[in-house]
Amino acid sequence: MLLTVSASHPESSFHEPSHSWLLNEPDLAKLYRLAPDYTSNFNRFDEIFESLKNSRYLRRWLGHSYYAGDKNGMPLGQWNPCYVPLGIRRQIV
């Protein structure tokens, strides 16, 4: 199973514009019951977030749906990343 969620650091918080929770690593691990030895790159969170914010490619190709309203992660298409998209891969047995 592959899930995509939104991550924050250092604390989990509610992101009002997108009406969703941004979860930190401990909360993600607990909520999705990750094994104690899971692989993570959360130690590089700040570096990854900076790369995301400074990405000319992502800014240029921001999906059209973001321009349609203010109830999303980039209200009215304004480039201002507030969280990191995160993938969780979990094997279901």
Question: Residues near 54 by Cβ (< 8 Å), separated by ≥ 6?
Answer: none
What was the pLDDT predicted at 6? 93
Q: Which pTM does this prediction carry?
A: 0.84
pLDDT tops 80 at residue 41: yes
pLDDT tops 80 at residue 10: yes
Strand duo 20-22 + 13-15: pairing: antiparallel
Task: Give me the DSSP letters along 31-81.
Answer: HTT--TT----GGGHHHHHHHHHT-HHHHHT--GGGGG-SSSSSGGG----
User: What percent of the chain shows pLDDT beyond 90?
Assistant: 81
Mean pLDDT (whole number) for 36-40: 93
| Phi, psi (rounded to 5 degrees) for 84 | -110, 125
pLDDT tops 90 at residue 30: yes
